[in-house]
Amino acid sequence: MSSEGLFGMLLETRPIFKNREYLRPSYTPEELPHRDEQIHQLARILAAPLRGETPSNIFIYGKTGTGKTASVKYVAKELERVSDRAPLKVEVIYLNCEVVNTQYRILATLSDTFLKKLKNGRGKEYLNSLGLPERVPMTGWPTDEVYRSFFVALDQERQLAVIILDEIDKLVQKSGDEVLYNLTRMNSDLKNAKVTIVGISNDTNFMEYLDPRVRSSLSEEELVFPTYNGLQLKDILEKRAEISFVEGALGNGVIQLCAAHAAREHGDARRALDLLRVSGELAERMGADVVTVDHVRYAYEKIEQDSMVEVIKTLPTQSKLVLYSIVLLMERTPRRVVSGEVYGLYQELCRHNGLEMLTQRRVSDLVSELDMLGIISARIVNKGRYGRTKEIKLNIHPTQARAAMQGDYYISAIDVLALPRQLTLA
């Protein structure tokens, strides 16, 4: 270690990032390149009620990383900003249905928002006089009571409630469409206030499960967010890089390469930004003061491996066991491994560790699954007289795979030394 000590190197090199937060998915950018059209449409639809027209509900569809959430949040923010001067006050409520995924919790959150607003505006006594509580408990109330308190609290003022339901497919999947039915009908009963629902999803199939009335009302206006192409991604990355990286910290071709990778994988901007950030972090860690295309390549590998580790961790025990057999064989003799060997070792592992043993047929399916997940690559080979088999290649480093599986109770308990010698030393 150098005389400067532990942090010497880190302090000496020029920093790479100005602010890496701008590269994270949680950041909502000031401008969204190549989404002007969608943003204008969205603004036009949402502004209509301000001019006294009946509000339309909006359904937004687009693959992940196409800027749906960012665009909606951006428009919502602008709308709230101008609503002071508008004839109708606007209140935007953003709900991610992956988190808030039941009818009760949605209504409770909406209730609370407007109860709080009312209390701040007119005081506790006013709430009491309407028979409204200060807050709705997290659980316990009958759902229609929660609905009523939301309704009454909302209708006390002339206002427009823009309810954004992100990942709305998750909601329908988990709790059905009853909430949506109630929310879409509200406008006909409200006297002062109006409600607009903005549903966001990356999956249109769920629409089929909706009540036809809900479906048509939810998609009064539809907006599609197409995926970005390579050039557009490059643009987006450049804009972001400007504010997040130190000037001159990005080498030639870095952005192009990140954009190209992401474009190849369905134009997901989130992935592209991730790749750029990880590349920077890697360069930083390696003590470089410029990010190069090599860092990007390395980062790409790292992201791939990391996601694979995640997949492995969530595998069922039997699949892990099969994978573990492949890993063991691979560690001994780094070559292609055939299915017969895998099943043989798998059997031994089960036998010597008191684990349930599956049939060859089933293990063959598990191997195919591992192949589908990209953890291994398998191909069928005919060896003539010596039969027909599957050659298996591991797509992740054996030590990484091992580490990913150690968390599993059954796997960590496996005692390799208990195996017959010819198997462990083959």
Per CB under 7 A, residues contacting DNA are 316, 318, 338-341, 343, 357-362, 364-368, 380, 382-390
Residues 6+ apart with CB under 8 A from 270: 25, 64, 65
Q: How many angstroms separate the first and last alpha carbons of the chain? A: 41
Pick the closer one to DNA by CB: 119 or 313.
313
Structure token digits, residue 165: 């339901």
Structure token digits, residue 172: 């329908």
Residue 346 C-beta: closest distance to DNA, Å: 11
CA-angle at 231, arms to 228 and 234, nearest 5°: 90
Pick the closer one to DNA by CB: 157 or 365.
365
Residue 267 CB coordination number (10 Å): 21
Residue 244 C-beta: closest distance to DNA, Å: 41
Residue 328 CB coordination number (10 Å): 23
Is 64 in contact with 201 (CB distance < 8 Å)? no
Distance from chain centroid for Cα 81: 28
Pick the closer one to DNA by CB: 266 or 388.
388
Residue 117 C-beta: closest distance to DNA, Å: 35
Residue 169 C-beta: closest distance to DNA, Å: 16
Pick the closer one to DNA by CB: 52 or 384.
384
Residue 419 CB coordination number (10 Å): 18
Residue 232 C-beta: closest distance to DNA, Å: 37
Residue 269 C-beta: closest distance to DNA, Å: 31
Residue 54 C-beta: closest distance to DNA, Å: 34
Pick the closer one to DNA by CB: 340 or 420.
340
CA nearest neighbour of 17 among 255, 277, 234: 277
Residue 211 C-beta: closest distance to DNA, Å: 14
In degrees and rounded to multiples of 5, residue 261 shows phi and psi of -60, -50
Pick the closer one to DNA by CB: 113 or 339.
339
Pick the closer one to DNA by CB: 198 or 370.
370
**Rg of the Cα atoms in the chain:** 28
Torsion of CA 278, 284, 288, 292, to 10 degrees: 10
Pick the closer one to DNA by CB: 127 or 366.
366
Residue 153 CB coordination number (10 Å): 25
- Cα separation, 345 vs 217, in Å, equals 58
Query: E-assigned strands of 88-158?
Result: 89-96
